[in-house]
Structure 1
Amino acid sequence: MPSPCPKASRSRARSTRSSSTPSVASPAATARRPRSPSGSAASPSKGSAKRGCSVSRERRRSAAGMSLIELVVAIVVVAICLTGAFALVDTTTRRSADPMLERQATSIAEAYLEEILQQSYVDPDDGEVCPAAEADRTLFDNVCDYSGLVEAGARSQQGEAVAGLESYRVEVAIDPKASLGDLSGESVVLRIDVTVTDPIGRPVRLSAYRTNA
């Protein structure tokens, strides 16, 4: 947008040229010419033109400065909003995955518990309850053989790792001195605790009892 300053200069130049050439103004032109309070015709002064140019430049600078400030503020606000949105999405994603992890851990614990309960109450070789455990899971033949079993990642009864379940930890504890109150009688009650820890560190524990009845 062109500056108003050159127009003021051209007006002064035309005024100067017209004043240098003598002419007789008609009464109508004299009547139309605006006059100052002192009675003389009004004409723009150099001081007022300079002030007009200065004000115009200051306004342009002020407008440019406000635009830059607004841009910075907008960037900061957008960054804050995005940070909050990402945090919300992350929290929602984790919460939606939590039930799935818990169900998977429960399924693993159930599978181990079912395998243990299918084993003999006593050692088939000597008839003892809770003899020394076998070193290899594939050789387990009674409930107490599973006592102290710890596996990083779910495994089948043959000791093979189950794909996709490597991040789960399985622990088995057998208590040969458990009691069911009057229901126990003279029988030795074995309490079986299977604890499965999911990938985010939450344990799921399932328990069962086994007697010789």
Structure 2
Amino acid sequence: MKKKRNFFAQVLRFIVYAHLFFWTIIATLCLFYNFINPPLTPLMIQRKLVRGYECKPRKYIPLEKIPKSIVRMTIIVEDANYYHHFGFDWDMVKKAWEKNKKSGKIRFGASTISNQVARTIFLTTNRNVLRKYLEVQVTVIMELLMSKDRMLELYLNYVEWGKGIYGIETASYHYYGTSCRNLSKTQAMKLVSILSNPIDYTPQSYYRSTSARARYAMLQRYF
């Protein structure tokens, strides 16, 4: 019995130390990323190694230079309560749970912009319980150590917008040959609409995606 207790004590100690180490690493990176932009992300590496997507030359644009209309569009379709929650939108979680239960499959997610930043900047897009568990912890740490504006800026500059395309400015130049500051309302809406599936669809083929069409229709009502 004593040996068994010692074994469980060692396992528990390892788990605690592993968590403390992970939290320290993430907290340190969050503090750094308040002032510097990540040169590379795990998602970029994953896409290169697993799918062979070459990272297109990236163009970073500060949040204050991104048109407010594009920022609003993104928040509307991705996380309407972004500035009013602490990383998790429990109403959205409840609705996703009810929809998935009704369909019998996990088809609807409840990821906030904060959650997406967590996996885009610090983790990967692999769908498994471990990644989701780590994502929750990273989200909490980010919300404690980073401002909402800074997280939104990182999101708009690092979120995947196509094969090897990361960020609104890079996507804008890739698809339209100009800065996001020069996009028309229609171009911006199409670009934001494909965030639901940027690998399979482009602003030119968004209408083939049910979710992208729904997002575009939603944006038309607001803009």
Q: TM-score, normalised by structure 1?
A: 0.29
Query: Relative to total residues, which structure has the larger strand share, 1 or 2?
Result: 1
Q: Which has the higher helix share?
A: 2
Greater C-alpha Rg: 1
Q: TM-score scaled by structure 2?
A: 0.28
